Chain A
């Protein structure tokens, strides 16, 4: 079945850039997402990218997609302490292939050191 892999932990200094990586196995993935989860809270959609795109930038967030290698990354510029959270990578197959179920990675815990 589909699988999404992420490293579990990342620690960066405040002001530096953070890069969170994700690999996936489903070649039919059409939409790839990044969600943020703060302690005790639900998931917040940060950004998403269509599989026919290579890059998407939204303020401090940059998403890079290497479809050939099935690799997705999220770069957070000028990381702040408020960015400390767990970041989930998720993918969904092509429309019509199912009920749009998301497959999540286990999440990367980002710790920002002041």
Chain B
């Protein structure tokens, strides 16, 4: 099946620093990638939809200047959490969409901001 990877799997950073998370579709091209955030014991919350070569579409309440998304190629999207604070600590998951509308998810990145 389609494989989506994320890097890093876990990151700990100091408050005020920026963190970049990569999402790659390994064996297919994805014109659309999605970024989700998951709080403990809760469902996934869609943060933004990323289309290759265009600006990301952010969900209501998600700060686009804080969560920078770049989808530079058909196999790579990046999420940069700028000036991270402890409340940004969360599990971030990306997914990539196949032409069949099926989404395949990455393994997630655990971000801890001290």
User: B104 and A45: CB pair below 8 A?
Assistant: yes
Please indicate the chain A residues that have their CB under 8 angstroms from the CB of B81 in the complex.
none
Complex CA distance for A3 and B93, rounded to whole angstroms: 21
Q: Which of B1-37 contact A (CB under 8 A)?
A: 1, 6, 32, 34
Within 8 A of A (CB), among B51-107: 51, 57, 93, 95, 97, 101-107
Q: B57, A99: Cβ atoms under 8 Å?
A: yes
Shortest C-beta distance, A31 to chain B (Å), equals: 5
- CB-CB contacts below 8 Å: A25-56 with B: 30-31, 33, 35, 40-45, 48
The smallest beta-carbon distance between B10 and chain A, in angstroms, is 9
The complex places the Cα of A33 from the Cα of B49 at a distance, in Å, of 19
Q: Are A95 and B101 in contact (CB under 8 A)?
A: yes
Q: How far is the CA of A99 from the CA of B32 in the complex (A)?
A: 8
Q: Is B102 a contact partner of A41 (Cβ separation < 8 A)?
A: no
Chain A interface size, under 10 / 10 to 19 / 20 to 34 / 35 or more: 20 to 34
Q: Interface readout for A75-114 with B: 1 if CB under 8 Å, 0 if not?
A: 0000000000000100010010001111011110000000
- CB < 8 Å neighbour of B103 from A41, A102, A105, A106: A102
A48 CA to B104 CA in the complex, in Å? 12
Which residues of A lie under 8 Å from residue B103 when comparing CB positions?
33, 45, 100, 102
- Does A101 lie within 8 Å of B43, measured CB to CB? no
A13 to B48, CA, bound (A): 39
Q: Is the CB of A48 within 8 A of B49?
A: no
Enumerate chain B interface residues (CB-CB to A < 8 A). 1, 6, 32, 34, 42-44, 46, 49, 51, 57, 93, 95, 97, 101-108, 110
Q: Which 6 A-B pairs have the closest CB atoms?
A: A43-B105, A42-B108, A42-B107, A106-B43, A104-B43, A99-B49
